[in-house]
């Protein structure tokens, strides 16, 4: 499947784009399509990821047809990792992004022909993997051991909350969060914390399932979806999301409800333009986003200047 790339730069005068069909702040009080008290959401989300942790990678492959691997490759290539960097990967418990960052740094080291300076920088590299869910972190540690990285001091596993990080101000060269920010209670707090811990010149990168940027016809029925070859992609995508993904979750992981929530959480997440404006409001400059697969996912970025 080809990737359709779209990048839009947002100036300092960018105005939030409001939509009557996009609840911009409901994410702070929603659990999928349900409204819950803020203090309940963290526990509910935690239960979801404790349930799916052991099947997380398999389900990602099944749900995306393996494309999530390419999306994460793209995220890390935009980060441009380097030996000696201090990086924070949030909601990255399984290690998928962190392993890619380390692979990128190792590749740079090999190209440098084992330069002693780079050897020193390699030792100084710190990739902090922060996740609020201990079960996801356990999956990551196990995978690190399987990859021969169990004793790698560059990998640092941290149980922590994206809304209240334990790291000091201005300490990180980079910050990534992949498929995690839509599950938090307060997106604004996560962005503020990302800005706080990044050094000046540090880069924020967020990979997230997003909104397909083609017209949506809401009145299409299941009969139309099954009989018409001209159904818009957005409608076929909605049918796949709400009918197929939960069913696969039930079949493979024995957990339909968790995957129903994950699908609903995508629809509750702000559209690309709105989320970009939130990143800019947090203080980041040179904010832009890149759509992949027509907006099924998007990579947002910003710089702390």
Q: Which residues are annotated as a binding site for S-adenosyl-L-methionine?
A: 94, 131, 161-162
119-123 long-range contacts, CB within 8 A, separation 24+: 120/84, 121/82, 121/83, 121/84, 122/83, 122/84, 122/154, 123/153, 123/154
Which residue is listed with tokens 């922590």? 160
Instruction: For the chain, give percent helix, strand, coil, nearest 5.
Output: 50, 20, 30
In angstroms, how far apart are the furthest CA atoms of the chain?
A: 66
Among candidate residues 125, 114, 198, 197, the one with its CA nearest the CA of residue 155: 125
172 - beta bridge partners?
Answer: 198
Cβ(213)–Cβ(291) below 8 Å:
yes
Between the CA of residue 132 and those of 12, 199, 204, 212, what are the distances in Å? 33, 23, 19, 29
Annotated binding residues: 94, 131, 161-162
CA 123, CA 202: separation in Å to the nearest integer?
Answer: 20
- The tokens describing 304, both together, are 């702390």
CA dihedral 83, 89, 303, 275 (to 10 degrees): 160
285-292 vs 297-303, strand pairing mode? antiparallel
Among candidate residues 126, 137, 122, 140, the one with its CA nearest the CA of residue 168: 126
Q: Give the Cβ contact number of residue 225 at 10 Å.
A: 15
Between the CA of residue 239 and those of 32, 221, 263, what are the distances in Å? 17, 10, 11
């Amino acid at each position: 499947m080809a990737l359709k790339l779209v990048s839009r730069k947002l100036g300092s005068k960018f105005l939030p784009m409001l939509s009557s069909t996009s609840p911009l702040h409901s994410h702070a009080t929603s659990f999928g399509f349900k409204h819950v008290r803020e203090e309940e959401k963290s526990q509910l989300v935690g239960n979801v990821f404790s349930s799916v942790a052991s099947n997380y990678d398999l389900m990602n492959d099944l749900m995306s047809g393996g494309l999530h691997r390419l999306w994460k490759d793209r995220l890390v290539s935009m980060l441009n990792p380097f030996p000696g960097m201090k990086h924070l990967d949030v909601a990255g418990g399984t290690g998928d992004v962190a392993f890619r960052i380390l692979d990128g740094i190792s590749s740079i080291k090999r190209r440098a022909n084992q330069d002693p300076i780079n050897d020193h920088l390699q030792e100084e590299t710190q990739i902090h993997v922060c996740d609020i869910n201990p079960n996801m972190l356990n999956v990551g540690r196990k995978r690190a051991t399987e990859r021969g990285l169990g004793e790698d001091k560059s990998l640092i596993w941290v149980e922590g909350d994206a809304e209240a990080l334990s790291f000091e101000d201005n300490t990180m060269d980079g910050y990534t969060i992949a498929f995690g920010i839509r599950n938090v209670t307060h997106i604004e707090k996560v962005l503020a914390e990302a800005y706080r811990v990044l050094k000046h010149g540090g880069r924020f990168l967020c990979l997230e399932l997003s909104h397909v940027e083609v017209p949506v016809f809401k009145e299409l029925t299941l009969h139309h979806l099954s009989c018409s070859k001209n159904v818009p992609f957005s409608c076929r995508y909605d049918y796949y999301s709400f009918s197929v993904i939960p069913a696969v979750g039930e079949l493979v992981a024995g957990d339909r409800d968790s995957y129903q929530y994950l699908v609903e959480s995508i629809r509750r997440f702000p559209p690309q333009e709105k989320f970009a404006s939130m990143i800019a409001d947090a203080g980041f400059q040179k904010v832009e986003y890149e759509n992949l697969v027509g907006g099924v996912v998007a990579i947002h970025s910003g710089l702390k200047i």
